[in-house]
Amino acid sequence: MARVCFSNVPLLKTCIGGLCPSLTFIQLGGYLQAHGHEVIIHDVAVELDTQAHTMDEILDHMVRRIVEIAPDILGLSAKVPADGRFTRDLIARLRPTLPGLVIIAGGIWATPADVPLLEAIEGLDAVVRGEGERGVLAIADRIDAGEVPIGPEVPGISYRDEAGQISQTPSAPPPRPEALPPLALDLMPSPDSYTIFPFLTSKGCPFDCTFCSEKVIFPQHIETPLARLEADLKRLDDFGRDYYLWLSDPLFGLDAQRTEAICALLGRSRFDFLLESRVDVLRPQQLPLLSEAGCEVIYFGLESASFETLKRLNKVRTRAAFERYLDMARAQIVGCMEADITPIFGVLNPVPGDTLEDLRLTYAFLKELEALAIDACHRSGEDPGFHFYSFQYRFIRGSDDFNQLDEMAARGATWLQDPSDAFRDIVLHDASPEIPFEVAMDFHKKVSALVRSTPIGFARMRRSFPSQPKGGLG
């Protein structure tokens, strides 16, 4: 039996949002347990007030706790560059104390950043690419058998070979959702410290937007069987905590019949929830059903209301698809108001190559959505509020846009960061010669000013928004 410790990046405890455990660690830990290994999840955010402590204090605390746990394997999750910086700083402090510890990293950012991670962090033994069940189990089994844990026999990892060169082993197909053991809720270090629980009804996305890296981890869209979802929801119900469920599927609602069945399951549970979808995927006529099942918040990735922008992002390809996209967005905001659901529309404009006309079209459409929402509130008597979130565009490692930075530059896009520095976000500065940084910031402010925050909407946001990583040093 190998002893495996998974450790979270510290999350900030704030008045907005609640603590959320790592579903990856719970599922992966349960898989390892089912194969005879011991698993401990360490979450510093349930042990310390992460706002009240410096990062040095947090790192020192984590080193002490990991030494106390004395694992054979330490698994760290890196979803964004800040997680990578934290991983680097933790390993630098931990490695002198535990020189024989096998340290691995994984996650949606670590997977495409495997080579620069291994080049920059001498004490990191391997990066587990994609879904980790097969690779981490192989490492644990080899430790249990007294074999060298990291090597070419382990599927789906990147590591330094005997010559010091970085090698990548072929990946093995991950286990199907129905083949995974039940949710290992007993692995949560302090269940009452969490208020939000992430829940997946599917993984992967059938779309291929240029700004997204979802396919790096989940190259296919795979649905969890309804019988398994029912069993997992019952297990959560029996666990006795009133968690707020975050349905963290990248795209909920692809199949109308399946959506109806999932609503029936959720409606029989104790949980309220939020979900994420596209405006042209979720059926507006199913919004009342979702509301009855406990849905309070829906995040829609609108991104833009410009045909040219959406075409560059590969969200639509034809003018007919674009018109349907806008019509569905209109129906979604009206339907949400009438069903007492708080909608959030994410906006990416400006993106590389945008023009002032692209920004004008998007802002005019958001004003139209605002008017439709207010009118629907007056007619229905419901006022759940609505939010337009304007994001500063990032080139996400693993996305098509990141892999084509030369083309982005040809569109007139600029950024201040060095793309070879894997530990930094590459943030869009000038979107094009027409849209320098200052114009972009003005647009973000205009969009943010359209938010309609109502008491019930604000309460839902406080309850449902997961806490964010504190980030790494430097």
pLDDT (average), residues 157-178: 94
Determine how β-strand 387-390 pairs with β-strand 222-223: unpaired
Q: Is the pLDDT score of 420 beyond 90? A: no
From CA 386, how far away is CA 395, in angstroms rounded? 27
Between residues 425 and 26, which one has the greater pLDDT? 26
pLDDT (average), residues 421-434: 94
Q: Is the pLDDT score of 351 beyond 90? A: yes
Torsion angles phi and psi, residue 310, rounded to 5: -65, -35
pLDDT tens profile 231-285: 999 999 999 999 999 999 999 999 999 999 999 999 999 999 999 999 999 999 9
> What was the pLDDT predicted at 258?
98
CA distances from 402 to 105, 157, 190, 325, 348 (A): 21, 22, 38, 25, 15
- The 3-state secondary structure of 230-281 reads HHHHHHHHHHCCCCEEEECCCCCCCCHHHHHHHHHHHHCCCCCEEEEECCCC
At 29, the pLDDT band (50, 70, 90 cuts) reads very high
Dihedral angle at the C-alpha atoms of 136, 137, 140, 145, nearest 10 degrees? -140
> What was the pLDDT predicted at 198?
95
Mean of the per-residue pLDDT values for the chain? 93
pLDDT (average), residues 165-181: 94
At 16, the pLDDT band (50, 70, 90 cuts) reads low
Query: Is the separation of the CB atoms in 103 and 77 below 8 Å?
Result: no
pLDDT tens profile 299-344: 999 999 999 999 999 999 999 999 999 999 999 999 999 999 999 9
Q: Is the pLDDT score of 399 beyond 90? A: yes
Q: Is the pLDDT score of 347 beyond 60? A: yes
- pTM for the whole thing? 0.94
Quick one: tokens of 36?
């005879």
Query: Is the separation of the CB atoms in 86 and 80 below 8 Å?
Result: no
At 51, the pLDDT band (50, 70, 90 cuts) reads confident
Determine how β-strand 394-395 pairs with β-strand 426-427: antiparallel
At 472, the pLDDT band (50, 70, 90 cuts) reads very low
CA distances from 133 to 74, 156, 418 (A): 14, 10, 33
Q: Is the pLDDT score of 13 beyond 60? A: no
The label of the residue with tokens 């098509």 reads 400
> What was the pLDDT predicted at 469?
60
pLDDT tens profile 67-116: 999 999 999 999 989 899 999 999 999 999 999 999 999 999 999 999 99
Enumerate residues 6+ apart whose C-beta is below 8 A from 109: 78, 79, 80, 81, 83, 84, 213, 397, 398
Q: Is the pLDDT score of 370 beyond 90? A: yes
Q: Indicate the residue type of 165.
A: Q
Q: Indicate the residue type of 300.
A: F
From CA 42, how far away is CA 46, in angstroms rounded? 9
From CA 450, how far away is CA 456, in angstroms rounded? 17
End-to-end CA distance of the chain: 38
Q: Indicate the residue type of 347.
A: V
Query: Is the separation of the CB atoms in 40 and 22 below 8 Å?
Result: no
Cα three-residue angle 328-330-336, rounded to 5 degrees: 95
pLDDT (average), residues 398-427: 94
> What was the pLDDT predicted at 54?
87
Q: Is the pLDDT score of 15 beyond 70? A: no
Cα three-residue angle 389-390-391, rounded to 5 degrees: 110
- H-helix or E-strand containing 223? strand 222-223
From CA 288, how far away is CA 295, in angstroms rounded? 9
> What was the pLDDT predicted at 466?
67
Share of the chain above pLDDT 90, in %: 85
Lowest average pLDDT, out of 40-54, 90-104, 185-199, 397-411, goes to: 40-54
User: Please, what are the domains in the chain?
Assistant: 3-168 (3.40.50.280), 195-464 (3.80.30.20)
SS3 at position 60: helix
Q: Is the pLDDT score of 465 beyond 90? A: no
The label of the residue with tokens 């959506």 reads 259
Lowest average pLDDT, out of 8-12, 65-69, 210-214, 457-461, goes to: 8-12
Share of the chain above pLDDT 70, in %: 97
Quick one: tokens of 470?
């504190």
